[in-house]
Amino acid sequence: MTFTVAIAGRPNVGKSTLFNRLVGRRLALVDDLPGVTRDRREAEASFGDMHFRLIDTAGLEDAGAESLEGRMRRQTDSAVAESDLVLFVIDARIGVTPVDEHFAQVLRATGRPVALLANKAESRAAEPGILEAYALGFGQPIPVSAEHGIGMPDVYDAIREAMPEPLPDLAEGDPGEAGEGVSKPLQVAIIGQPNAGKSTLVNQLLGEDRMLTGPEAGITRDAIAVDWSWRGRAFRLADTAGIRRKAKVVGKLEQLSVGDALRTIRFAEVVVIVMDATEPLEKQDLQLADLVESEGRALVLALNKWDLVDNPGKRLAALQADLEQTLAQLHGVPMVPVAGLTGYGLDRLMETVLAIHATWNKRVATAALNRWLAAAVERHPPPAVSGRRIKLKYLTQSKTRPPTFFLSCSRPEALPDAYKRYLVNGLREDFGLAGVPIRLMLRRDANPYEGRKRAG
């Protein structure tokens, strides 16, 4: 088992800054506003010679069980229950608050080992707060500044002391996580507009309340990635914040959340856009699909809340007709009706994710491509431009992910866009590339006589 460290504390004490510092890169959103983190975020941390699982949690608050803060608290409680060590963080500049005292009692009741960190201790103004921290009953507090890296050797010692021997080393390979014969996790991003049901769908896939959900729109702020296995295949699911139209994005925090979601799309292999099937197809859904296409990712549309649709057959046909007109560049993109609350259609959704991923990785033999090109040109030759014919010489696939083809021709700058679409649509239809982005790159055919002087 991997040694697990959870970071806990009240809102705005610097937990996410400490998380990013220990992980060695900026994963968690950080802002001066309290309560930025809502879902718990996990990552593998390498700190000196130590390797461990690190969990960033929402700020500890005393609130009603069914309130948003209460649901956030349950996520934090789950993280603490899974941990082998809790880094309890307070703000040394403010000192010990009644909330800190309350949750110190809560942490003691869990029986988990606790290391007390007095964060923001980079100035003398923090000294009284550090002295107050002794009263919490966790021994000597560790003065740190997560932002400036102060006190990290002492944090290392605290984690190292709590670790069993020998040190768990993920780099050497855990049979459950790495090794020969184990495939690399397929990166899947779950995106969509606020309140489309993304987190509910992810929880249903995982079989646990891993993501914070509720009737409030915009609960998810960070892009939270979770490792998961389905039918023996490893996945890394990333739940993201809802992405609204650019004009409606207000405030620095929402801008950070949307930026985090967009970065997740760029690192994904397959993107699942969750759409509310009970609502009309919106321009923002189409813009998200167009964004995924422009990034070259494979795409699946999940029509969520299908259990609430009155006439499923009619609704599906209408959506398919709308998408054929509005998403011509992704002709044949798969649509899967699902219900995140009940689990309806989720197996089919994952089967579709695997199928579109295989298509996204598909490679076509050069000989087959050039036979196809000859037939395509014979059926519909490229038009003459300025009285001169354009000769299409040679077609080859240069890469996959997405399928990318190079077409060698006599005048690439003159080939009309309509003819390029004709070729792309033909490639998609004849080689089974429906639903994935296709890149067609043109290059000029080398003229062996160019630059030579005429004789005589």
Lookup result for tokens 């703000």: 91
Please tell me whether residues 344 and 372 are part of one structural domain: no
Whole-number pLDDT of residue 54: 92
CA distance 402 to 100: 51
Query: Is 59's pLDDT higher than 80?
Result: no
Confidence tier at 285 by pLDDT (50, 70, 90): confident
Instruction: Band the pLDDT of 305: cuts 50, 70, 90.
Output: very high
Number of other residues whose CB lies within 10 A of the CB of residue 245: 11
| pLDDT above 50 (res 33) | no
Both 31 and 167 in one domain: the answer is: yes
Task: Please give the full DSSP string across 274-318, using - where no structure is assigned.
Answer: EEETTSPPPHHHHHHHHHHHHTT-EEEEEEE-GGG-SSHHHHHHH
Kindly state whether residues 63 and 147 are assigned to the same domain: yes
399 lies in the same domain as 269: no
pLDDT tens digits, one per residue of 11-23: 888 888 899 889 8
Q: How much of the chain exceeds pLDDT 70, in percent?
A: 80
**In this model, does residue 107 exceed pLDDT 50?**
yes
More confident residue, 337 or 41: 337
Domain at 135, CATH number: 3.40.50.300
Q: Are residues 119 and 253 in the same domain?
A: no
Average pLDDT, the chain: 83
Scanning 386-446, the segments in alpha helix (DSSP H) are 417-430
Residue 231, phi then psi, degrees to nearest 5: 50, 40
Check whether residue 384 and residue 348 sit in a common domain. no
Same domain, 76 and 152: yes
177 pLDDT higher than 90 = no
Distances in Å between the Cα of 88 and the Cα atoms of 51, 139, 276 are 20, 12, 40
- pLDDT tens digit string along 220-266? 555 678 889 999 999 989 888 767 555 555 455 556 666 777 888 88
Is 325 found in the same domain as 218?
yes
User: Is residue 40 in some structural domain?
Assistant: yes
pLDDT band at 181 (very low <50, low <70, confident <90, very high): very low
Domain of 406, CATH number, reads 3.30.300.20
Q: Are residues 312 and 371 in the same domain?
A: no
Instruction: Kindly report the pTM of this predicted structure.
Output: 0.67
Structure tokens at 25: 């890169």
Q: Is 454 part of any domain?
A: no
- Same structural domain for residues 386 and 248? no
Closest to 297 in 3D by CA, of 381, 428, 400, 447 = 400
Look at residue 56 in the predicted model and tell me its pLDDT.
Answer: 87
pLDDT at 350: 96
How many domains are contained in the chain? Answer: 3
Cis peptide, bond prior to residue 337, ω within 30 of zero: no
308 shares its domain with 378? no
- The range of the structural domain enclosing residue 168 comes to 4-172
Same domain, 296 and 393: no
The pLDDT confidence band at residue 315, using thresholds 50, 70 and 90, is: very high
